[in-house]
Amino acid sequence: MRMLELAAVAVALTLSGEAFAQTAPPPSVQAPQPPSPEMRGPDDRVTDFLRMRDEVAGRRAGPTKSKNPVPASPEDIIQGSEVRDSKGVPLGTIESVGKEFAVVAGEAGKVEVEFDSFAKNYKGLLINLPKAKFDSIVSGNKPAR
Question: Tens of pLDDT along 96-130?
Answer: 999 889 999 988 889 999 998 899 888 899 998 88
Does residue 70 lie within any of the structural domains?
no
Is residue 28 predicted with pLDDT exceeding 90?
A: no
Candidate from 14-18, 59-63, 76-80 with smallest mean pLDDT: 14-18
Q: Which residue segment(s) compose the domain that 102 sits in?
A: 75-145
Q: What is the CA radius of gyration of the chain?
A: 31
Does residue 117 lie within any of the structural domains?
yes
DSSP assignment, residue 130?
-
* Sign, Cα dihedral of 90, 91, 97, 101: negative
- The count of structural domains within the chain is 1
Does residue 141 lie within any of the structural domains?
yes
Is residue 75 predicted with pLDDT exceeding 90?
A: no
Does residue 57 lie within any of the structural domains?
no
Does residue 45 lie within any of the structural domains?
no
Task: Over range 82-102, report the average pLDDT.
Answer: 92
Does residue 91 lie within any of the structural domains?
yes
C-alpha to C-alpha distance for 93 and 99, rounded to whole angstroms:
17
Sheet holding 70-71, edge to edge: 70-71, 118-121, 124-127, 82-84, 90-97, 101-106, 110-114
Does residue 29 lie within any of the structural domains?
no
Q: Which residue has the higher pLDDT, 70 or 46?
A: 70
DSSP assignment, residue 39?
G
Q: What is the per-residue pLDDT for 82?
A: 94
C-alpha to C-alpha distance for 57 and 51, rounded to whole angstroms:
10
Does residue 2 lie within any of the structural domains?
no
Q: In terms of Cα–Cα distance, which of 85, 58, 57, 71 is closest to 115?
A: 71
Give the CATH number, domain containing residue 106: 2.30.30.240
Q: What is the per-residue pLDDT for 12?
A: 72
Secondary structure (DSSP) of 77-112: --TT-EEE-TTS-EEEEEEEE-SSEEEEEESS-EEE
Angle ∠(122,113,130) on CA atoms, nearest 5: 60
